[in-house]
Amino acid sequence: MGTYAIVNDRGRRFTARPGEEVWIDYRADLAKGATITFDQVELLSTDGGIKVGTPTVSGAKVVAEVKGETRGKKITVFKYRRRKSSRRKHGSRAFYTCVAIQKIG
């Protein structure tokens, strides 16, 4: 199955595997090429077994490198009230920070 970790970053969870790129919520304080460490690891799976945190695994951390910023797919929000001549169409694209997972330990 390989090594992976489930990481909590400011209330959002994502699965981290070494060598993969992950989109996290936009962080303005991170520059391209910077290193970020995620300390809130909720589950750690290695060849030795699985460790589940209560609530986090003590001593576990995930190190990643910032690749840059990107924007997600456009979503369309359409509000409509029948028989009222009321409609509203609104589009939105969220900003994300792309990070490459380097090491899980």
> What is the number of domains present in the chain?
1
Q: What is the pLDDT of residues 14-62, one digit of tens each?
A: 999 999 999 999 999 999 999 999 999 999 999 889 999 889 999 999 9
Q: What is the dihedral of CA 78, 81, 83, 87, to 10 degrees?
A: -40
Both structure tokens of 94: 């969220």
Q: What is the mean pLDDT of the chain?
A: 93
Selection from 15, 4, 102 nearest residue 50 by Cα: 4
Contact 101, 20 (CB under 8 A): yes
Q: What is the pLDDT of residues 52-62, one digit of tens each?
A: 988 999 999 99
Domain region containing 21: 4-104
Q: What is the pLDDT of residues 59-102, one digit of tens each?
A: 999 999 999 999 999 999 999 999 999 999 999 999 999 999 99
Residues 6+ apart with CB under 8 A from 28: none
Give the CA angle between residues 66, 37, 13 to the nearest 5°. 85
Both structure tokens of 85: 């001549």
DSSP 37-100: EE--EEEEEETTEEEE-SSS-TT--EEEEEEEEEE---EEEEEEETTTTEEEEEEE--EEEEEE
